Amino acid sequence: MQPTVQTTLAVPVTGPSPTLAEFAAANTVGLTRFAYLLCGDRGLAEDLVQEAFAALYQRFGPSLPIAAPVAYARRVIANANTSRGRRVRPETVAAELPDRPFDAIDGGEQDAMWRALATLPHRQRVVLVCRYYLGFADSEIAELLEAREGTVRSLAARAFATLRQHPDLPRPGGAS
């Protein structure tokens, strides 16, 4: 019998482990928010979360005998989002338009920031979302991306350089 290699995200838990159904009920909203911040599309975010739940079930079955299932699910979501970004997707045209927009929030500068964030490459977006929305340390982001901490800092620096040049974002001090 060969020994199994487990990442730090899949460390066996010592106490009673939650079922996948309990985990899904408790974490669907938070994971969907995370996925939405990565991809910018509500439907795709929900698909990414479902893919994460399917991956958890495929790997562990109906119980989750790991210490950090949320971190594991976030990694699956981030990787799935990156993989989807690599594939070419044909554009779908709707036959009918909805009566009203789904997200009719006037956010002004905040909306411009989210639009600008959506233009960043996937890994840069993951770094900024994890660092500033989820409050992760560089070491946690590095573990999520399976990269070095220096890579995380480099991705963040490149993302900020891109955002500083974005025409829709206000300049610090009111400069144009």
Domain 108-171 of CATH type 3.60.20.10: no
In degrees, to the nearest 5, what angle opens at C-alpha 79 toward C-alphas 43 and 124?
A: 90
Spatial distance between the Cα atoms of 73 and 162, rounded to a whole number of angstroms: 29
Confidence category of residue 108, pLDDT binned at 50, 70, 90:
low
> What pLDDT sits at residue 3?
38
63: which strand partners?
19
| CATH code for the domain defined by 7-86 | 1.10.1740
pLDDT at residue 4 greater than cutoff 50: no
Spatial distance between the Cα atoms of 86 and 165, rounded to a whole number of angstroms: 25
Confidence category of residue 2, pLDDT binned at 50, 70, 90:
very low
Mean pLDDT of the chain: 79
Confidence category of residue 159, pLDDT binned at 50, 70, 90:
very high
For the chain, what are the domain ranges? 7-86, 108-171
Confidence category of residue 25, pLDDT binned at 50, 70, 90:
very high
> What pLDDT sits at residue 139?
92
User: Are 7-86 and 108-171 the same fold in CATH?
Assistant: no
Whether pTM exceeds 0.75 = no
